């Protein structure tokens, strides 16, 4: 299985700029060894998906509600993302966990809803800086995995240290490798042999300058890219660093 390079556009992109970015990424996406995904704001999933149809670039959402439908003002059901053309969804991103108080149990319920709607979930986990300084990173990530993943999980995990997101700072290569090896062991214990098939992305200040080193580390199955995914040339250079 190739690596997955996923762009999280977050709350960026009016229609014109989203379309321009999608087209620029699609233009450079031929012949890459990795899988490519962009997760634009929900308002532009359908037009971006239309622009990317027939290209190697897939489209995903950035969150979904756990319920199928109902009185949840402002939220989106997984089936709505699917209906708009998404095939993937990011769940449990640290910005959702912080801004909206999302718990592991809520993330687990969202994972179930996403899978039921035909979406592949990308579940984000990662420690804060205080937790890493206290040496608690494996305990924190282990707890998040235990609480966020169902026993039959078949999606993707993204390890995103909270303190590395949007800061220009990354863990050392040894620390990234150690955490990815730890996550693989947790997945194998929890899911059995199918835990081997779960790609484990690294996310947190990935850029064209550090992508080759990060993508070459053991158990790194790709990258979840925030800021650098908003510039097509940067996103594509990261994708060229992937295997």
Instruction: Say if residue 240 is exposed, middle or buried (CB neighbours under 10 Å; 0-12, 13-18, 19+).
Output: middle
Tokens of 243: 């295997």
DSSP symbol at 119: P
Residue 225 found at the interface with ligand PEP (CB under 6 A): yes
Give the interface segment with ligand PEP, choosing from 73-81, 114-122, 142-150, 219-227 (CB under 6 A).
219-227
- Return the number of the residue (7 or 49) whose C-beta is nearest ligand PEP: 7
Structure tokens belonging to residue 46: 């359908």
Does 226 help bind ligand PEP (rule: CB under 6 A)? yes
CB count in 10 Å sphere of residue 88: 23
**Spatial separation of the C-alpha atoms in residues 16 and 44, rounded to whole Å:** 10
Should residue 203 be labelled a site residue for ligand PEP when binding is judged by CB under 6 A? yes
Q: How many CB atoms sit inside 10 A of residue 189's CB?
A: 12
| For ligand PEP, the closer CB: 96 or 190 | 96
Q: How far is the CB of 228 from ligand PEP (least distance, A)?
A: 6
Minimum CB–partner distance for residue 194 and ligand PEP (Å): 25
Please say which residue, 168 or 192, places its beta carbon nearer to ligand PEP. Answer: 168
What amino acid positions are annotated as catalytic residues?
93, 160
């Amino acid at each position: 299985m190739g690596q997955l390079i996923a762009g999280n556009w977050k709350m960026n992109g009016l229609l014109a700029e989203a379309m321009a970015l999608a087209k620029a990424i699609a233009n450079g996406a031929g012949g890459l060894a990795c899988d490519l995904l962009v997760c634009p704001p929900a308002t532009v999933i359908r037009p971006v998906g239309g622009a990317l149809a027939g290209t190697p670039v897939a489209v995903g959402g950035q969150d979904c509600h756990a319920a199928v439908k109902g009185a949840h003002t402002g939220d989106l059901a997984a089936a709505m993302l699917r209906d708009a053309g998404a095939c993937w969804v990011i769940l449990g991103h640290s910005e959702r966990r912080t801004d909206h108080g999302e718990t592991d149990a809520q993330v687990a319920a969202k994972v179930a809803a996403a899978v039921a709607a035909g979406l592949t979930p990308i579940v984000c986990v990662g420690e804060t800086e205080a937790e890493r300084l206290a040496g608690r990173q494996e305990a924190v990530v282990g707890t998040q995995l235990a609480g966020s993943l169902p026993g039959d999980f078949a999606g993707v995990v993204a390890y995103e240290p909270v303190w590395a997101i949007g800061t220009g700072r990354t863990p050392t290569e040894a620390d990234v490798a150690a955490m990815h090896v730890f996550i693989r062991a947790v997945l194998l214990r929890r899911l059995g042999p199918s835990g081997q098939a779960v790609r484990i992305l690294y996310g947190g200040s990935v850029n064209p300058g550090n992508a080759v080193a990060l993508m070459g580390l053991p158990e790194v199955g790709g990258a979840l890219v925030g800021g650098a995914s908003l510039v097509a040339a940067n996103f594509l250079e990261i994708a060229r660093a992937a295997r």
